[in-house]
Structures are given as C-alpha cells and as structure tokens.
C-alpha cells in the first residue's frame, strides 16, 4: 500500500506535500501514550509541533491517493482498515522527532539557500525556464496551503534532508557481502530423486463414522454457511434508459456521414523500394526500367532480395516518408516510379498489389449508430431520472415502487453473500457494480434507506437490504459427503507422506536408494522396477517439471549426501530428494543497480534504527482529540 502511495506522489502537488512527510521509504511505529486536548497541535516533540492543518493535509493527501487507486472516495472506516491513519501518524511523529533533533543540533538553512531551493524547482518554472510565482500560487491553492506554511515546511524539509544525508553518508554494503552473494547465487547442485505419487499409496479405505465425526469437529470452520442478504437492486445507466427506436433515420444518416471515417478501411499498397547510393545510379536504373528492364534484374545487381526491398502492405499514412508515400500512391499496379528523393537518398519504387479503399454501408452500422445516439440522449436525462427516484424514495416508496414510476424494474436477489454468490455457491452475474454494491450492502442494516453506489462516472446502483441471514454452522448431515471427500484426501496425503518419509529414513541410514525404491514403490507401467532419477545441475533459482522451487530450496538447505522430503509436482505427490553433488562457483558480480538497491536497503535500516532510538529519547505527546479534529471529514 505504501509503495502504491509513493508511486502516486508525483507532480507539483506531491512536491509540496512531501515536505510534510519524513521520507517516502520509511515508516516508524508509534508507541507513545495518546492524550487528550492539544488545542491546535496534534503532535508535540520538545519545541517541535505539528499543527492541525499540517496533519489534515498529510492525511487527506494519502486518502485522496488511495481513493484514486480504488476509484471511489474512501470512508473513514476504510481508511483506518487500510492503515492510512497509522501510516500518517507514524510518518509525522518520525518527522517531528527528526526536526526536534535537528533543532537541538543547531542545523539550519539560510534564506538565500531556501529561496534557491524553491526557485530551482522545475515545477514552478514557466515555459521560458524562469521561476513563476503564478505557478507557485496555483500549486499552493491546489493543496490549500499558505505561502508562509509552505516556506516553513520547505525549510524544515531541507534541514531534515541534511540530517538524513549525514546519517546515510557512505553507507555501502561491504565487498565481502557481494562475494558471498555471488557464490550463494552461483552454487549448483545435482539431486537424485523419486516422486512418490498417490498411486503408490493404493486405495484409500472408507472412514468410520467416528472418524467422520472427528474430522468434522476438527474442521468445523470449513463447514459454515456465510452471511447472506436478500437484496433489491436497481441499476441506472444511460444504456438502461436509452430508446434507440426514438432516434430518427435522418439523425442516423447525419451521424454516419459525420463519423464515416470510422467505417472506412483506407487503400493499402504493397510497395517495393530500390535504394541507391547516388542520384546518377538511380536515374540510370529508372531509365532501364522504363526501357523494359526487369525490376528483379536490377534488384539482383544491387545484391538485394525481395524481402530486402519490401516496405510491406501499407496505407498512405503508414509510409513514414511523405515523398515516397505520394509517389507510391500515384503509381498504377506493377508500374515503376521515376527517381524519388527520399529522406535517406534516391529510390525507385514499384507497387505490386493494391487493396482499394472500402466503406461499410450505412445498413451494416445503422443499429450501432442508433444505439450510440440513443445513449447520448439518455445521458442527458439520466440525472433527472436519478432525482425522481430519490424523490419517490424520500416520499416513502420502496425501491421497487420508485423504479416502476420511472419505467425501470428492480431486481430481487433472495440469497447473496459478500462474494456475490448464491446459496449454492454459484456466482450471480447480474448484480450491478457488484464489488462496491456488496461491500456497502453488507455494511447496511435491513430496512435502512441507503445512498446509491456510483457506476463509473455517471451511472448509479441502488439497493435495499430486505433481510439478513446470519452465518451458521452447517450440520454434519448436510455436509457429510464433503467431509468424507476431505477426509479421504487428507488420508491419501498422510499415506503418501508416510511412504516418502520411510524411503528417506532408510536411505539416510545407508541403504541403496534404488533398492529401497524397488522394495517400496510399485513397478513402472512396463513392469520394470521404479528407479531414482538424476536432475541436471541446478542453481537456487532453477526448477523443472518434477522439482519445484520449494523442493529446490529444501535441497539447498541440506549438505551433500543428505536426504529430505519435499512437495512433489502436484498434490498429494511427495519428492524424496538426495544431494549427490555440490559445485561451488565464483559467479558474476552483481549489477550496479542491484548494488544500489542493497545500499538503499542498508541506509533505510540504519535510518530506521536511528530514528527509533531518537524517538525513544524524546517525550512525544500525541493529542488524540486534536487528531480527530484534523482528520474528521
């Protein structure tokens, strides 16, 4: 979530707001005691204070960013659930701690340097590259920040950057780390293995009644019916109220002529191009072609093939050189051109195929145009209908009654869960704006008149909760078949695992791998004893059809000669795997960008620890009442 916020924190507004945060790549926890009061301050660390406006701006910025990502305005509860409140608090506390320590150290920034920092910001420069106060004023209005507050925040950010830069200066991972990493990544191993499949376990016996009851009791949580709701829904979009039959033939014809290019496939030509080093050679070739020389003869003399000289089948607009396009589209089929001066020298052209322009007739596209015009007209009426529905509901009508009065039909769903499934677990396909509507509906009590949910930028979906069917424990009798199936699957897994562990233990004690396999596993389909297989040389990042990434990781955790059991290619298969060879390789040095990432992670870790220690040494006062005032909306 925080990474998504960082990606969205760009542009002029972001550059202003970033002064309110500590750094974009670190968030520290808050463990100090919350207290009431606070007046106009939300956080106080020594002489450093975070005011209501600063807190509100940081909070609203993150809420706005995440709301854009989700496509709807987050409620206070949703913001809290996503951790936005804690994120903002942690960042601002850490920033205040840094500011207070910077103040104690006497760090500062001169007015000239501060003016330079603001003036050098490209976000505030006009088209000529000069600082523009108008652009600065506009950006400040966008975020609701006074010039004085922005300058103070920019000053604090500059001082904070000094402190952070000093702490992170020269923090690079040592060469020994990269040497180890190279060897770690380059190490190769060869494995001897056998796959123990479900077939090796044989037939799973039927469970007894007591085993069924015990499994059911142990896994009761898997056999609960979710909460269901009976919903009445109504969708209103331009498409829902569009009336194509009301669109006149004249309007359809006029629209067809207006957008006729959409239905037009432009002419295409297969173009060949002979390119020459100078104009004289091109003129000579053009003359020979006019005198009857074969195009292929000159092509061969130039050492070219048909593929070399083909520009492909192109429309005129697709030919990047306008001179060549004009010449090629003025030629007859198989006619050669005079010398054309192209962008890259003189050329001679030939057109070998022509696909003429084609236009879909009105009859083929009339229905689509009629529907499109009807939707456009309906879009203008949509908000009037929205208001009529709301007026009828406010007057006491049910959603179904309000829908009938405007010529629409509400749909009732007797049983729907939060995932949009019916009582049989089947997905309901005609729920309007299902994810958002269901989220709202399951937060609404029965009988409450709820606001509509937006569909895109101009549509609406209403809902009424007629009944709430609480979650319930399904009795064993209802799910007995499912319990038996689950027990049998678990029993098969256990049987396969027992066989695999048995093979592992015998091989680990020194018995021959193939002998143990032949003794325990059934023969192959052709009657031969099952034998172990040998993998190719594998690094930690390699896999193959039998050895998954999990199995490779398990194989790299044990020394040469040891045996382990890992998940097989698919459930319930198990892999018995022995390390037969270990090859240490030098490897290649990591790329510079990877080193940069590691160094940044080290710097983040050190900065995190330093700020955490600073925070532990400070008296941090967090005023909950003031925070509530700042973020209530």
Q: What is the per-residue pLDDT across 546-590, written as a single tens digit (0 to 9) for each?
A: 999 999 999 999 999 999 999 999 999 999 999 999 998 877 888
Domain range annotation of the chain: 2-170+609-631, 188-218+478-583, 228-240+378-473, 267-356
Point out which residues pair with 412 in neighbouring strands.
Answer: 232
pTM for the full model? 0.53
**Lowest mean per-residue pLDDT among 25-29, 40-44, 327-331:** 25-29
> For the chain, how big is the Rg over CA atoms in Å?
37
Output b/e per residue, 283-314; b: 16+ Cβ within 10 A: eebbebbeeeeebeebbeeeebeeeebebeeb
Closest CA relative to residue 489, chosen from 225, 222, 193: 222
Indicate the pLDDT class of residue 139, thresholds 50, 70 and 90: low
More confident residue, 190 or 439: 190
Which residue is it, tokens 């009336």? 243
Distance of CA 555 to the CA centre of its chain: 33
Q: What is the CATH number of domain 2-170+609-631?
A: 1.10.4030
In 123-248, alpha helices (H): 133-143, 147-168, 175-186, 198-201, 209-218, 238-241
Task: Label residue 39 left, alpha or beta by phi (over 0 means left) and psi (-120 to 50 means alpha).
Answer: left
Tokens, residue 520 = 């325990």
Q: How far apart are CA 295 and CA 293, in angstroms?
A: 6
- Please give the pLDDT value at position 583: 94
Indicate the pLDDT class of residue 227, thresholds 50, 70 and 90: very high
Indicate the pLDDT class of residue 16, thresholds 50, 70 and 90: very low
Q: Taking the C-alpha atoms of 184, 186, 187 and 191 in order, what is their torsion angle to the nearest 10 degrees?
A: 130
Find the mean pLDDT for residues 392-399: 93
Q: How far apart are CA 97 and CA 49, in angstroms?
A: 10
Q: What is the per-residue pLDDT across 522-540, written as a single tens digit (0 to 9) for each?
A: 988 788 889 999 999 999 9
- Please give the pLDDT value at position 380: 87
The answer on pLDDT for 14 being more than 70 is: no
Q: Taking the C-alpha atoms of 100, 101, 105 and 110 in order, what is their torsion angle to the nearest 10 degrees?
A: -50
Asked if 2-170+609-631 and 267-356 have one fold, the answer is no
Q: Please, what is the angle between helix 147-168 and helix 111-119, to 10°?
A: 100
- Please give the pLDDT value at position 125: 73
Point out which residues pair with 271 in neighbouring strands.
Answer: 312, 351
First to last CA, the chain: 22
- Please give the pLDDT value at position 8: 33
Q: What is the per-residue pLDDT across 443-468, written as a single tens digit (0 to 9) for each?
A: 899 999 999 998 877 789 999 999 99
Q: Which fold has domain 267-356?
A: Chitinase A; domain 3 (3.10.50)
- Please give the pLDDT value at position 146: 76
The answer on pLDDT for 21 being more than 60 is: no
Q: What is the per-residue pLDDT across 348-360, written as a single tens digit (0 to 9) for each?
A: 999 999 999 999 9
Do 84 and 62 contact (CB within 8 A), yes or no?
yes
Do 187 and 559 contact (CB within 8 A), yes or no?
no
Q: Please state, for a pLDDT cut of 70, what percent of the chain lies above it.
A: 91
Which residue is it, tokens 């790329």? 591
Do 619 and 45 contact (CB within 8 A), yes or no?
yes
Q: How far apart are CA 103 and CA 96, in angstroms?
A: 10
Q: What is the per-residue pLDDT across 283-306, written as a single tens digit (0 to 9) for each?
A: 999 999 999 999 999 999 988 999
The mean predicted confidence, pLDDT, of the chain is: 86
């Amino acid at each position: 979530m925080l990474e998504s916020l960082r990606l969205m924190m760009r542009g002029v507004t972001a550059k202003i707001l970033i002064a309110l945060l500590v750094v974009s790549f670190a968030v520290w926890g808050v463990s100090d005691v919350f207290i009431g009061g606070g007046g106009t301050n939300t956080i106080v660390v020594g002489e450093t204070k975070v005011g209501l406006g600063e807190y509100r701006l940081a909070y609203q910025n993150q809420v706005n960013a995440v709301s854009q990502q989700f496509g709807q305005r987050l409620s206070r509860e949703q913001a809290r659930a996503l951790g936005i409140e804690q994120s903002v608090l942690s960042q601002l506390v850490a920033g205040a701690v840094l500011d207070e320590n910077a103040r104690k150290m006497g760090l500062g920034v001169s007015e000239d340097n501060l003016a330079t920092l603001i003036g050098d910001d490209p976000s505030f420069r006009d088209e000529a590259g000069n600082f523009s106060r108008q652009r600065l004023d506009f950006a400040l209005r966008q975020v609701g920040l006074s010039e004085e507050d922005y300058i103070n925040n920019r000053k604090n950010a500059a001082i904070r950057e000094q402190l952070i830069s000093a702490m992170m200066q020269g923090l690079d991972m040592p060469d020994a780390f990269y040497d180890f990493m190279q060897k770690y990544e380059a190490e190769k191993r060869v494995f001897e293995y056998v796959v123990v499949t479900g077939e090796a376990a044989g037939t799973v016996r039927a469970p007894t009644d007591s085993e069924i009851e015990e499994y059911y009791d142990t896994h009761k949580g898997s056999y609960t019916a979710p909460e269901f709701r009976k919903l009445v829904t109504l969708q209103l979009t331009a498409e829902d109220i569009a009336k194509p039959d009301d669109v006149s033939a004249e309007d359809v014809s006029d629209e067809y002529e207006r957008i006729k290019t959409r239905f037009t496939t432009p002419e295409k030509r297969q173009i060949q191009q002979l390119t020459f080093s100078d104009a004289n050679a091109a003129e000579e070739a053009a003359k020979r072609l006019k005198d009857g020389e074969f195009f292929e003869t000159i092509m061969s003399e130039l050492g070219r093939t048909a593929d070399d000289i083909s520009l492909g089948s192109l429309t005129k607009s697709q030919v990047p050189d306008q001179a060549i396009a004009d010449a090629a589209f003025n030629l007859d089929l198989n006619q050669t051109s005079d010398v054309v001066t192209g962008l890259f020298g003189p050329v001679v052209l030939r057109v070998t195929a022509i696909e003429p322009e084609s236009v879909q007739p009105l009859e083929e596209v009339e229905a689509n145009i009629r529907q499109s015009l009807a939707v456009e007209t309906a879009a203008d009426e949509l908000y009037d209908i929205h208001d009529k529905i709301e007026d009828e509901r406010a007057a006491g009508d049910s959603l179904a009654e309000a829908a009938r009065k405007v010529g629409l039909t509400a749909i009732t769903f007797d049983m729907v869960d939060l995932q949009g499934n019916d009582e049989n677990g089947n997905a309901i396909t005609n729920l309007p704006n299902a994810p958002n509507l269901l989220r709202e509906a399951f937060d609404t009590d029965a009988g409450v008149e709820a606001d509509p949910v937006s569909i895109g930028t101009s549509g609406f979906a209403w809902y009424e909760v007629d009944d709430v069917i609480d979650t319930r424990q399904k009795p064993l009798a209802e799910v007995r078949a499912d319990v038996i199936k689950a027990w049998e699957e678990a029993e098969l897994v256990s049987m396969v695992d027992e066989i695999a562990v048995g093979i592992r233990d015998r091989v680990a004690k020194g018995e021959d791998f193939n002998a143990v396999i032949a003794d325990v596993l059934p023969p192959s389909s052709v009657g031969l004893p099952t034998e172990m297989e040998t993998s190719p040389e594998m690094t930690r990042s390699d896999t193959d059809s039998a050895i998954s990434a999990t199995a490779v990781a398990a194989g790299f955790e044990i020394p040469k000669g040891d045996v382990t059991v890992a998940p097989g290619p698919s459930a319930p298969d198990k892999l018995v795997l022995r390390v037969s060879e270990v090859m240490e390789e030098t490897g290649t040095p990591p790329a510079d960008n990877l080193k940069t990432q590691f160094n940044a992670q080290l710097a983040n870790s050190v900065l995190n620890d330093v700020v955490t220690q600073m925070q532990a040494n400070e008296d941090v006062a967090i005023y909950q009442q003031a925070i509530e005032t700042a973020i209530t909306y």
